A and B are shown apart, each in its own frame.
Chain A
Amino acid sequence: MPETATPFWLDRQDLQQLIEALQAAGHRVVGPQVRDAAVVYDDLPAATALPHGLIDEQDGGWYRLIEQALAGPFDHVAGPHSLKNFLFPPRETIQQWRREEGSWRQVNEQAIPVPLAVIGPRACDLRALAIQDQVFLEGEYVDPFYRTRRERLFIVAVNCRRAAATCFCHSMGCGPEVTIGHDLLLTPVCERFVVEIGSAAGATVAAELAAGRLPCTTADLAAAREVSRELAAAMASRPMTPVRPHAQVAPTALPIAGPQPRPVPAHRSLDTENIRDLLFDNLEHDRWAEVAERCLACGNCTMVCPTCFCSSVTEVAELSGDNVSRERHWASCFTAEHGQMHGANARPTTAARYRQWLTHKLAGWIDQFGSSGCTGCGRCITWCPVGIDLTEEVAAIRETSS
């Protein structure tokens, strides 16, 4: 093993040097920051911009940042953004056409993107990345736009040391411990980080960063592993969410402005045993109509989901009509556009659209790509305006499976 592959300690106040090492290697550096009262990914000007001293409280339809003096820069968990926002952006130009002497010519001006380094992805995010790789790179066809960005991605992953009530990566086999897919890995131990190297690119950046720092001992690494082990044990022993009968979860009144009393957060877990057949055997279960009474079909869950990949292509023409751009943007199975055919809509109801989303994510995905499309990150629960919880919907169907 080369000298640079040795794990080393990085002090919290030295994160700036990590950013500078990534910039020196030619990367645009992106990391978690607070925007509009949520932790999102954005260009990281300095380590001081990281969300130091904040944790996030999450539950169905609920996200609040809370100040906590002892919290480090990564003690929040999944926010509304994921790596998807960068590798498969919400909107991008995929082609440009120009009419010359009556014929259409493709304008080949696809800029090579600047290599991107993202600080902060968790185990669930790396699993989501592997899933999106399957969709865009590993099938019968390869998406050239995703590939160009993916080949230039550097990941500084972070091990979680707390979980939100919406987190259930442990039951999806995706976390909480980062094991693959990172270039560098930070594990917070007290007020320092154990830095481990996961790739040749990671070793190159680490070579400079590690100079003069304390190498980790076997005991130090064991302490890092213990962070994930303790969290996994804590997640597994949390009380489960009770399945609420439909009458209790139907919206009764508009929310009142001002502080709302919060119930004790429910803890999520998803029983994945035989889940493909469970869902495909219950395509006409009453629960789809029930959830449709609560679902607003807003599509938030598909936007924040780190694996949802549906898109549509829109023509953007100049007034002359001689210059045309084609924009690919995220699509959602909750919209009418998704199932539109001439003269008919394949899925005209919210019940059919919710069923499409859930059965694709948890069942059809297994046929298509060999694994679940869910990583247990819980974003769809948090960002659902009415707090619909897929773990609860699956449990309800399982309890009353026909």
Chain B
Amino acid sequence: MSWSVGTATAAAPAAGPIPPWEYAQATIAALHDDAPGVRSYALAIDEPHRNRLVASLPGQFNMLYLPGIGEAAISIASPPGEHPVLHTVRAVGNVTKHLAGMRVGDDLLIRGPYGRHWPLEELVGADLIIAAGGVGLASVRAAVCQAANHRDHFGRVAVLFGAKSPDDLFYQSDIAAWRAAGIAVELIVDQDTSGWDGPVGFVPQLLRDQPVVAATAVITCGPEVMMRALATAAFGRGLPPERFWLSMERNMHCAAGFCGLCQFGPEFVCKDGPVFRHDRISRYLEVPQL
């Protein structure tokens, strides 16, 4: 799929809303162990739904279904047009732990893509700060790849990535490629480990060394507490909330706005998000236990 800049890109692929509960067969084509508990799955999608799944936009997600086990919403890590489709998953729940026991050649079911995407088409010419905590890097990976592949469409591009330890800093070969493409990548860990001579702390502190100017836009995915702290730091530097996008996570069973489980204030995270512009949800982010 070509990356057309400056044209209006629909939130959902051109084919229109996809029927909920319609699955494609997928086969695990390749596996890659990224970090302790984190593995990437390259999924070969069977016809007839391959084109639909491959035509995702950065920041959207798929539902991965293992019959008898359950279903989980997982960000799409591969950029538009790439097949097999890449998902990078931390084994933390029932479905993701079971997934971690699967091998190359195993089958699963997949439906998607769902949700709103990172609005890169609105950000042509912007300076991008792309910040991620832990496995949150997976949901911005497609956006970073787009920026790397179309480097001249953006001004300064920086990736700020934090994890617990140096071993948790995954996507190392991607990071090398992004740097080669002229993207600044800053890394931080919050537990010092021998051999690590980089900064120790949390992602928001990497913002201190980044220029924040009128052209700056921030997109971020990670733990809510990290994204909140990053927003506070960015707004303190003069960034308006209309230039800050974040990806939210909630319980999700249908991905189509029926199950109601993903509600966050009046928003359905599945179809109004997961990517929200900060000012749309600012007032709800401030309220504990919403």
Task: Return the chain A residue nearest B114 by Cβ.
Answer: A141
Which residues of the other chain, A, contact B261 by a CB distance below 8 angstroms?
310, 312, 331, 338-339
Question: Is the CB of A202 closer than 8 A to any CB of chain B?
Answer: no
Interface residues of A in 126-147 (CB under 8 A from B): 135-136, 139-144
CA gap between A203 and B256 in the complex, in Å = 36
Measured CB to CB, the closest approach of chain A to B19, in angstroms, equals 7
| Partner pick for A317 among B68, B107, B264, CB 8 A cutoff | B68
**Contacts beyond the supplied A141-B258, A367-B267: 18 A-B pairs with Cβ under 8 Å:** A102-B107, A103-B25, A104-B107, A104-B108, A104-B109, A140-B12, A310-B261, A311-B259, A317-B68, A321-B68, A331-B259, A338-B251, A339-B251, A341-B249, A346-B251, A347-B290, A356-B263, A364-B266
Some 23 contacts from A to B, beta carbons below 8 A apart, are A97-B67, A141-B17, A141-B271, A143-B20, A143-B256, A144-B20, A280-B266, A283-B284, A309-B258, A310-B261, A311-B253, A313-B253, A315-B68, A324-B68, A342-B92, A342-B93, A346-B250, A346-B251, A346-B290, A348-B289, A352-B290, A356-B290, A360-B263
Interface residues of B in 221-271 (CB under 8 A from A): 249-251, 253-254, 256-261, 263-268, 271
On whether the beta carbons of B257 and A141 are closer than 8 Å, the reply is yes
CA gap between A324 and B67 in the complex, in Å = 6
Which residues of the other chain, B, contact A342 by a CB distance below 8 angstroms?
92-93, 96
- Contact A313 to B254, CB < 8 A, known contacts A141-B17, A341-B249, A356-B263: yes
Task: Return the chain B residue nearest A105 by Cβ.
Answer: B25
Number of interface residues of B (CB under 8 A): 43
On whether the beta carbons of B258 and A140 are closer than 8 Å, the reply is no
CA gap between A337 and B70 in the complex, in Å = 14
| Partner pick for A368 among B67, B93, B266, B290, CB 8 A cutoff | B266
Measured CB to CB, the closest approach of chain B to A21, in angstroms, equals 35
Interface residues in chain B, defined as those with a beta carbon under 8 Å from any beta carbon in chain A: 12, 17-21, 23, 25, 67-71, 92-93, 96, 107-109, 249-251, 253-254, 256-261, 263-268, 271, 283-284, 287-290
Measured CB to CB, the closest approach of chain B to A145, in angstroms, equals 9
| Partner pick for B289 among A106, A310, A347, CB 8 A cutoff | A347
On whether the beta carbons of B67 and A349 are closer than 8 Å, the reply is no
Measured CB to CB, the closest approach of chain A to B108, in angstroms, equals 8
Task: Return the chain A residue nearest B46 by Cβ.
Answer: A103
CA gap between A364 and B263 in the complex, in Å = 9
On whether the beta carbons of B265 and A346 are closer than 8 Å, the reply is no
Query: How many residue-residue contacts, CB under 8 A, span A and B?
Result: 121
CA gap between A94 and B71 in the complex, in Å = 14
Which residues of the other chain, B, contact A23 by a CB distance below 8 angstroms?
none
On whether the beta carbons of B271 and A140 are closer than 8 Å, the reply is yes
On whether the beta carbons of B253 and A312 are closer than 8 Å, the reply is yes
Please list the 4 inter-chain residue pairs (A to B) with the smallest Cβ-Cβ separation, ordered nearest first: A310-B260, A364-B266, A367-B266, A352-B289
CA gap between A364 and B287 in the complex, in Å = 15
Task: Return the chain B residue nearest A346 by Cβ.
Answer: B250
Which residues of the other chain, A, contact B108 by a CB distance below 8 angstroms?
104
Task: Return the chain A residue nearest B107 by Cβ.
Answer: A103
| Partner pick for B256 among A141, A321, A365, A368, CB 8 A cutoff | A141
- Contact A94 to B21, CB < 8 A, known contacts A140-B271, A280-B265, A313-B253: yes
- Contact A135 to B258, CB < 8 A, known contacts A313-B253, A324-B68: yes
- Contact A311 to B257, CB < 8 A, known contacts A283-B290, A339-B251: no
On whether the beta carbons of B71 and A313 are closer than 8 Å, the reply is yes
